[in-house]
Amino acid sequence: MTMHDNTHEFTIVGNGPVGGLERQLKGRHVQLIAIGGTIGTGLFMGSGKTISLAGPSVILVYAVIGFFLFFVMRAMGELLLSDLRYKSFRDAAGDLLGPWAGFFTGWTYWFCWVVTGIADVVAIAGYITFWWPDVPLWIPAIVFITVLVGLNLPTVKAFGETEFWFALIKIIAIVSLIVVGIAMIIDLVPGAGSASFANLYNDGGFFPTGPMGFVAGFQIAVFAFVGVELVGATAAETQDPHKTLPRAVNSIPIRMLIFYIGALVIICSVTPWRQVSPDESPFVAMFTLAGLAIAAGVVNFVVLTSATSSANSGIYSTSRMVYGLALDGDAPTPFGRLSGRKVPVNALLFSCAFLLIGVVMLYSGDSVIEVFTVVSTISSVCFVFVWSIILLSYVAYRRRRPHLHAASTFRMPGGLVMVGAVFAFFAFILWALTQETDTLTALLVTPVWFAALGLGYLVVRRSPDHAALRDLHRRKVAAETASAERYRSR
């Protein structure tokens, strides 16, 4: 089926390959990748500091963030399903907003995940000290980066399997924490001490640190949600996207309810909020409090795999973004080459190399959590930019292609009204980041990236090879589209 408007002609195709990538990710892979993207290092590592800032009201903080980001994901889902030639939301942005949007979105998303990967390197080095406090921090960091390269070099199906099991480990860990926590609250675990649901309100109320303490909770909590859009980066390698993408997006609310709200309710009930250390994972601390020293070690391992999973997903998505940028002439040509296993190896190694910055940053602050806070804030600001571009692309799609919106079977609830509400929430997030010194510093540094990106765009657009590469890529996509249509019509 071919559709037209004044500026665009495209064909909605089935499950054929896109841009040389192959659709090897099955429904179960996408579902668990979506869950793994939702449950990130920010929840395991950053929730301790968030609780110390906001007290029990941290539960509401996570609920509010999850509520608004669900609408971003619905907008992204409708966009990607409107044209299955989109490899990711970057392609949708470039098509609907212009080449500048594809360039800025692709490179900023790359930067987002590289910075997140650096945060994961920092976090993992901190987790390792649980077992080996005397090991130099740079050793686990280097080993971690090497493992990431090894996990991403095989086929995308192998990546999907790896993420499937990583996400499953996180699910089991959080469910176990909830079960053990409930057992402590109802006195089934000896020595549970003051564990009680009353801890949610008996020490200063639900908002014990006042309105500004509640606001401060958003500063770190928003980082826990980075990666929620990861399913949008798997679009070109997903089997039956019309079925798997809506299912993955629609399951976000229940995932938030169980894995964020459920876990935080239990943590705040078992451990009075004043006793939660901002410098360590409250997940590990809770099992230690229960007298389950071995279990605490197991949970630390789970937290370690969670950080590995987050960085693994990030390196996967950044390699695909850089690959797509190269095909459009927005990145060096070698990054647009695939291995025999259909993996963009050059783009992958390029992204992994930048994680070495995390090794240096381990020695740049007074504590791991201090470095983690600065790095995660920079990442959060850039992710807010990417989420905003997704919404702007949705607005352009509604304006330019109303016939597609009318025909969509996966429309965003609330439409343009909710887009305005989400933008207002994003403005609130940026304001919240100005309220603490460490997050304000990171916020002020972030514009340097966009200034550098603007200069890079001007240089790229003047390159004589840029237009030729973009035209060549479009001809290849058109040929793939025609081939998929012929295959489907048989």
Q: Which tens digit of pLDDT belongs to each residue from 281-329?
A: 787 777 776 666 666 677 777 777 777 777 777 787 788 888 888 888 8
**DSSP-assigned letter for residue 340:** T
Q: Is the dihedral of CA 325, 329, 330, 332 positive or negative?
A: positive
Q: Is the dihedral of CA 397, 38, 36, 246 positive or negative?
A: negative
412-444: b or e for each residue (b if 16 or more CB lie within 10 Å)?
Answer: beebeebbeebbebbeebeebbeebeebeebbe
Stretches where the chain sits below pLDDT 70 are: 1-46, 155-157, 189-193, 231-239, 289-296, 362-370, 372, 463-490
- pLDDT given for residue 362 in this prediction: 64
- Looking at the chain, the whole-number percentage of residues with pLDDT higher than 90 is 17
Q: What are phi and psi of 10, to 5 degrees?
A: -155, 165
- pLDDT given for residue 396 in this prediction: 95
Residue 122 has a CB neighbour count (10 Å cut-off) of 28
Provide the mean pLDDT of the chain.
78
- pLDDT given for residue 237 in this prediction: 57
- pLDDT given for residue 314 in this prediction: 78
- pLDDT given for residue 16 in this prediction: 41
- pLDDT given for residue 219 in this prediction: 79
User: What is the Cβ-side half-sphere exposure of residue 208, based on CA atoms within 13 angstroms?
Assistant: 19
Residue 292 has a CB neighbour count (10 Å cut-off) of 15
User: What is the Cβ-side half-sphere exposure of residue 139, based on CA atoms within 13 angstroms?
Assistant: 7
- pLDDT given for residue 33 in this prediction: 63
- pLDDT given for residue 88 in this prediction: 79
